[in-house]
Chain A
Amino acid sequence: DAGITQSPRHKVTETGTPVTLRCHQTENHRYMYWYRQDPGHGLRLIHYSYGVKDTDKGEVSDGYSVSRSKTEDFLLTLESATSSQTSVYFCAISEREKAGELFFGEGSRLTVL
């Protein structure tokens, strides 16, 4: 299994509070991604990174920010959580040549009350 660790795995928070999810990889892959998964929507890309300090928006980036200060860590921040951000969040990594082959973490379930 690819060395991807997401934390926390489960979190319950209240509307309006900030939340940060962390993705840590030990594979030294250049590309990292944050997806959210909701029933009826499948996986949707929030943000991705193509190198240290290089990030870009995905399909559903509103309300989220990311940071990547070193190769192994990719942080997803909800500045002010809303109930619509209740979801399961997956981090993924990939190498350039096989970028379609994403390696996913185990997911972080976030509930915003």
Chain B
Amino acid sequence: GESVGLHLPTLSVQEGDNSIINCAYSNSASDYFIWYKQESGKGPQFIIDIRSNMDKRQGQRVTVLLNKTVKHLSLQIAATQPGDSAVYFCAENPPKSGAGSYQLTFGKGTKLSVIP
């Protein structure tokens, strides 16, 4: 697969434990945030999103927390499983002008390794 794991911070967790992946975003005016998961050799896959008028959102086994005061985003994965092993990216939607759709700015990613 592609070497997207090089130079990335790595988080190792025991199977069954909870995982917390952190992300510091850059633009205080960003109003929308997304987490993506990328397994080796595949394209990124949408996990969960949150808008800036919220500070918490829950999905299936995942929770995203947003702290706008310190421009921090976190992804919590409950009861981590081996299939959760992947690189996780946060992305923000900074304000922009002109025509066109959303343009996301992606973080560099964190590699999650689950120990069986």
Q: Is the CB of B7 within 8 A of A109?
A: no
**What's the minimum C-beta distance from B62 to chain A, rounded to whole angstroms?**
14
**Distance between Cα atoms of A92 and B102 in the complex (Å):** 12
Tell whether A101 pairs with B100 under 8 Å between CB atoms, given A42-B106, A88-B2, A106-B42: no
- Which interface class (under 10, 10 to 19, 20 to 34, 35 or more) fits B? 20 to 34
Chain B residues, Cβ within 8 Å of A92: 43
- Which interface class (under 10, 10 to 19, 20 to 34, 35 or more) fits A? 20 to 34
- CB-nearest residue of chain A to B7: A40
Contacting B at CB under 8 A, from A54-113, are 54, 56, 58, 88, 90, 92, 94, 96, 99-107, 109
Chain B residues, Cβ within 8 Å of A40: 6-7, 108
Q: Is the CB of B101 within 8 A of A96?
A: yes
Q: Is the CB of B49 within 8 A of A42?
A: no
Q: Which of B65-73, B77-85, B91-99 lies at the interface with chain A?
A: B91-99
Residues of B within 8 A of A (CB): 2-4, 6-7, 32-34, 36, 41-46, 49, 89, 91, 93, 98-104, 106-109
